[in-house]
Amino acid sequence: MNKRARHLILLLGLLPGLTGPLPASAQPIQPYVLAQTTTGELQAAVQSIKDKLSGAGFQIVGEYAPYAGAHVVAVTEPALLQAAAATPYGGFGAVEHVAATQVDGVIQVSYLNLDYLAAAYRMDADLSASKQRLAEALGAEKTFGAEQGRSPEQLRNYRYMVGMERFDDFYRLGTHPSYEAAVDTVTRNLEKQVGGAALVYRVQIPGKQQTVFGVSRARVSDTRANDKTIMADTVDQKFDIKTTAYLPYQMMVAEREVIAMHMRFRMAVWHPDLTMATFGKLITSPGAIEELLRKIAGGKRDAFEF
């Protein structure tokens, strides 16, 4: 193995494969749901999505265009908020991302599979009712994103390989004097578009000092952390059905601390079949994303690390 390959493994730990065969009794879950494909103008499709979601009782909390030909609508509802409040870091699962992506004259409408999300984010909740409402509102043509899927048991303790980050190996981005000060700092910096980032949504988890933020990196000039460079130009080159609903990136205030899922977990869990070659193109992205999010959080670090 050459030095370059060893470097990739040490920094990203990206060797493809499962942690073991799926138990016979476990039903594998795919990361994403393709709701439907349609034709026409993208903005008309987005408006239709929003109308259907609102009609089904979902609250639209934000939306953005991460790059040309793609649009993401973020929604929540009481059942998702209640589920988020039931576990320590469930706020990361409080918001569903629905994407419309133009591909070769066709618009793919897709969203995060809530069964997969609940298991990956260790939420102690059954989101099947919310999943059913999404399917009735938008459709559920097929699931996709991982050839073999992953079982709930695998997802709850997921890491790409030994030494990789798990769900709760967070970026720890800064601590503030109070929960309110932390939320105000993150909100203000996103509104000021620090580092080129911008606010997509802000959702407070009921009954907890916890607020989750959706962060646009559409205008981030550092290509190592830019939405288009990471997704459209790199990761989604490997997918016929695009995984745009992975976006936007999230960060969260939990009491006085600002945290975010590590990219080496978040990217891997939502794209478990990506190869070392693809991830190798993003070798500096985990550090660049942490650096960007730390600026938004108002935190400091002593040394830059990948």
Ordered DSSP codes for 102-171 = EETTEEEEEEE-HHHHHHHTT--S--HHHHHHHHHHH---EEES-SS-B-HHHHHT--SSTTS--TT--E
The C-alpha atoms of residue 186 and residue 179 are separated, in whole angstroms, by 11
Confidence of residue 299 (pLDDT cuts 50, 70, 90): confident
State residue 160's pLDDT score: 86
Q: What is the pLDDT of residue 26?
A: 65
The predicted pLDDT at position 164 comes to 87
- What does each C-alpha distance from 236 to 36, 104, 107, 228, 247 come to in angstroms? 18, 14, 15, 10, 12
DSSP H or E segment with residue 278:
helix 276-280
Q: Which residues contact 1 (CB under 8 A, 6 or more apart)?
A: none
Main-chain dihedrals φ then ψ at residue 31, nearest 5 degrees: -65, -35
For 176-185, the pLDDT digits (tens) are: 999 999 999 9
Q: Please check the confidence at residue 11 and state whether its pLDDT lies above 60.
A: no
Question: Cβ distance 252 to 260 under 8 Å?
Answer: yes
User: Are 3 and 117 a contacting pair, CB within 8 Å?
Assistant: no
Average of per-residue pLDDT values in the chain? 90
Rounded Cα distance between 139 and 36, Å, is: 6
pLDDT of residue 27: 85
Question: Which of 17-21, 120-124, 278-282 is predicted with the least confidence, judged by mean pLDDT?
Answer: 17-21
What are the beta bridge partners of residue 201? 214
Kindly list the strands in the beta sheet with 70-76, ordered across the sheet, starting from the edge strand earlier in the chain: 59-64, 70-76, 96-103, 106-112, 32-38, 142-144
| Mean pLDDT confidence for 260-266 | 97
Amino acid at residue number 139: G
**What share of the chain has pLDDT > 70, as a percent?**
89
Q: What is the pLDDT of residue 20?
A: 42
Helix or strand or coil: residue 265?
helix
Q: Given a cut of 80, is residue 289 above it in pLDDT?
A: yes
- 227-259 residue pLDDT tens: 999 999 999 999 999 999 999 999 999 999 999
Residue 252, both tokens:
């969260």
Check residue 300 and give its pLDDT.
59
pLDDT higher than threshold 70 for residue 1: no
Decide if pLDDT at 95 tops 50. Answer: yes
Mean pLDDT of 15-35: 65
Smallest CA-to-CA distance from 208 within 174, 179, 185 is with 179
- pLDDT, tens only, 161-172: 888 899 999 999
C-beta separation of 183 from 253 below 8 A: yes
CATH of 29-297, one of 3.40.50.720, 3.90.190.20, 3.40.50.300, 3.30.310.70: 3.30.310.70
Q: What pLDDT is attached to residue 162? A: 84
Q: What is the pLDDT of residue 92?
A: 98
44-82: pLDDT as tens digits: 999 999 999 999 999 999 999 999 999 999 999 999 999
Q: How far apart are CA 82 and CA 84, in angstroms?
A: 5
DSSP state of 35: E
What CA–CA distance (Å, rounded) separates 166 from 186? 24
Q: Is the pLDDT of residue 271 over 70?
A: yes
